[in-house]
């Protein structure tokens, strides 16, 4: 769990477990709704906001290549 905490902090990711008996598993997870593109060296290259359409994502990824 410490590894997840460290990585989330490094990339500015928020997450929180919320106890809720109405959930089938007894809790929900609130979290950042971005997609992070990280290169093989662990460098953050791109942050894609929630709701982007596939052509927009493809265009952004092409710019990285």
4 and 28 both lie in a single domain: yes
As a whole number, the mean pLDDT across the chain is 94
Distance CA 56, CA 37 (A): 14
pLDDT at 1: 77
Q: Average the pLDDT over 37-51 and give the result.
A: 93
List Cβ neighbours of 19 (8 Å cut-off, separation of 6 or more).
Answer: 26, 27
Count of structural domains within the chain:
2
To the nearest 10°, report the CA torsion of 6, 10, 12, 15. -10
Statement to judge: residues 42 and 65 lie in one domain:
yes
Question: pLDDT tens for residues 7-34?
Answer: 999 889 999 999 999 999 999 999 999 9
* pLDDT at residue 42 in the model: 86
Print the domain residue range for 61: 34-65
Same domain, 25 and 48: no
């Amino acid at each position: 769990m410490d590894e997840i905490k460290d990585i989330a902090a490094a990339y500015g990711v928020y997450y929180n477990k919320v106890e809720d008996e109405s959930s089938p598993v007894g809790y929900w997870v609130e979290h950042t709704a971005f997609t992070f593109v990280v290169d093989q060296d662990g460098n953050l290259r791109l942050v894609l906001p929630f709701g982007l359409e596939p052509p927009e994502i493809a265009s952004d990824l092409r710019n990285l290549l």
